[in-house]
């Protein structure tokens, strides 16, 4: 693995793929813990994101905290130092673990979005626990992290009286990231309607084999296509640095503070000991 090449590609493209990042034992251990998360529904963040076909798209956040016997080796030993290099920071903090499990029956897409509960360095590593062809894989708009804009799905700009048109995914995403206030609508730009047809946007689908990983900047626009055709599971670890702050334009911090019994304050760095810190 050429870390300086990866660091430079991540900076210019906004995402990188790292083949064979974890071994089969890791994938099987996390898959088993994901099954436990689903059967126990122990986490208050557990969600069914496909209201068309119940059970075809499950997701959870902080299962490592809420689900007993969650695989204790969920942070690969070589990951924190890699994140420190990729983020060009001597200290990195693990903000969150989350997972997404889709069955081949799933018809719900994830709309084009940024991950923007944090301002400042905010990176995710999406570890593929199954083989995912390009037709069903995460897609990125190469270089979009440099646009300077804060995008939101255009449907979110519709007024709340039309809210019934949102599917479970949109409701979920909106509840974490949007409000009807003028302040929010002025801060965000709608995702361009011609994103998928205008060649100016360089869309890259990143197929993966089990064990591969994708690292991406939270500000790189990304989405999932509507039809999955395969069963797929991704385990995601999100990383920040000491100079990252809680975004004032996100409901995440309030929701997380209540459910984790911690205090995340808009525009302040994250220092609660709940978040593991790694120094290099
Ligand atoms: O894997 C998914 O279904 C969604 C991924 C995503 O948007 C994320 O990890 O930020
Ligand atoms: Fe995302």
Residue 81 inside a domain? The answer is yes
Residue 217 inside a domain? The answer is yes
Token pair recorded at residue 161 = 């009286």
Alpha helices in 146-216 (DSSP H): 168-177, 182-187
Angle between helices 79-87 and 3-13 (to 10 degrees): 50
Residue 180 inside a domain? The answer is no
CATH of the domain at 137: 2.60.120.620
pLDDT of residue 21: 98
**Number of separate domains in the chain:** 1
Q: Which domain holds residue 45?
A: 3-147+204-266
Residue 77 inside a domain? The answer is yes
Nearest atom in ligand 1 to 222's CA: 7
Q: What is the pTM of this model?
A: 0.94
Q: Is the pLDDT of residue 160 over 80?
A: no
- List pLDDT tens digits, range 222-277: 999 987 789 999 999 999 999 999 998 877 888 889 999 999 999 999 989 999 99
Does any ligand 1 atom lie closer than 6 A to the CB of residue 216?
no
Q: Which residues contact 98 (CB under 8 A, 6 or more apart)?
A: 45, 59, 60, 61, 62, 63, 235, 236, 238
Whole-angstrom Cα distance, residue 214 to residue 104? 21
Residue closest by Cα to atom 1 of ligand 1: 100
Residue 157 inside a domain? The answer is no
Does any ligand 1 atom lie closer than 6 A to the CB of residue 126?
yes
Residue 163 inside a domain? The answer is no
């Amino acid at each position: 693995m050429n870390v300086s090449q990866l660091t430079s590609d991540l900076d210019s493209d906004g995402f990188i793929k790292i083949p064979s990042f974890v071994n089969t034992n890791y994938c099987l251990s996390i898959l088993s813990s994901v099954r436990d998360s689903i059967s126990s529904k122990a986490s208050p963040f557990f969600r069914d994101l496909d209201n068309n076909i119940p059970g075809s798209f499950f997701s959870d956040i902080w299962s490592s905290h809420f689900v007993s016997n969650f695989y204790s080796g969920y942070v690969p030993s070589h990951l924190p130092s890699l994140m420190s290099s990729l983020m060009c920071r001597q200290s990195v903090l693990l903000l969150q673990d989350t997972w997404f499990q889709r069955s081949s029956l799933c018809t719900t897409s994830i709309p084009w979005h940024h991950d923007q509960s944090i301002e400042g360095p905010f990176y995710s590593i999406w570890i593929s626990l199954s083989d995912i062809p390009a037709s069903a894989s995460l897609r990125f708009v190469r270089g979009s992290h440099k646009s300077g804009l804060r995008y939101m799905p255009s449907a979110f700009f519709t007024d709340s009286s039309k809210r019934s048109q949102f599917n479970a995914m949109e409701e979920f995403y909106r509840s974490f990231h949007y409000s009807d206030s003028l302040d929010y609508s002025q801060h965000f730009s709608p995702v361009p309607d011609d994103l998928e047809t205008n060649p100016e946007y360089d869309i890259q689908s990143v197929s993966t084999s089990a064990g591969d990983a994708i690292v991406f900047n939270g500000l790189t626009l990304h989405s999932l296509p509507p039809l999955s055709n395969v069963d797929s599971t991704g385990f995601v670890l999100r990383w920040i640095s000491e100079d990252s702050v809680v975004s004032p334009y996100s409901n995440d911090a309030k929701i997380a503070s209540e459910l984790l019994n911690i205090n995340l304050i808009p525009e302040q760095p994250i220092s609660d000991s709940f978040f593991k810190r790694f120094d290099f």
